[in-house]
Structure 1
Amino acid sequence: MTTDQPRITVSEQFLTSPTNHITAIAGDGDVAAAAQGEVDGAAEPGVSVSLIGPEQSEEMTIEGDDLGESLLARVRKILGDETPHLEHLAAALEAGATVVCVGLPDRDEVGDEDHDALKQRVADLLLSTGATDATYHGRWGIEELTTGR
């Protein structure tokens, strides 16, 4: 495991809602950097990548945040969601992993078929780097993604 961690940033859109985002778990900084590089390198229009690392989750200051608040509660505030999947992401952060967050363009902007194809291309890129647990956060629920290759 490398000591050089990628710069941790979270898009404003993701802080508001995870809708139209794919999350994946990168076990270490090398995997997180590779995942971010692959998605950025693909230069897909309307796609953005953010990373949430364990050190960032400890430093999060969200309005009204209590110092004694659990990591899961802080992650729920960031993602704006109460799904059981968040417990899995919080556990990964507590174990030292990084959560890769990929924002996709709105389905209404690109159409259903193009959105589904883009979602699969991004999942393939993430999973090819060693990231795991790729999950799409849609308007009406979450979907576990597997490689289409």
Structure 2
Amino acid sequence: MKNVVICCSLEDENIELIKTLKGNPLLENAKLHFVHIFEIHVYTSDFSPYIFPSEDKYPEIEKATKEILSGVAKEVCTADELKNSQIENYFAYSPKQKISDYLTEVDADLVIVASKQKHGIEGLFSSSFTDHLVKYSACDIHVLRPPRS
């Protein structure tokens, strides 16, 4: 059985793109890993650093995230695929590094990511999560792109 990692952002646009995977042959005979990684931000002030989210918020955030991802998994997976799926939520200073480590850890055969079409100044910089996976993923990658408007 192959391992397919589905990188899930919690943004509505990305969730809708991931839902389009329902019935996709890429998911057949696979263990599906629905993964979301929260980026930990450190802000500095004159007196002390501030870390967001703080560790005391992790359980609350993790519970809410797993509820959202469970709903996504139910919409994407058949009953058999749902039995072979798992939902993971991580907190990391570098989500790009964490996903790279996770792909190696689970010996992923494929990673699926929904891209955000950046426009204007944002689109000039090549530092997105999807770009990172395209360049450095240890396995095949399938990029879901939003429909052209």
Tell me if both proteins adopt one fold, taking TM over 0.5 as the criterion. no
Point out which structure has higher relative CO (alpha carbons under 8 A, 6+ apart). Answer: 1
TM-score (norm 1): 0.29
Q: Which has the larger Rg?
A: 2
TM-score (norm 2): 0.29
Higher strand share: 2
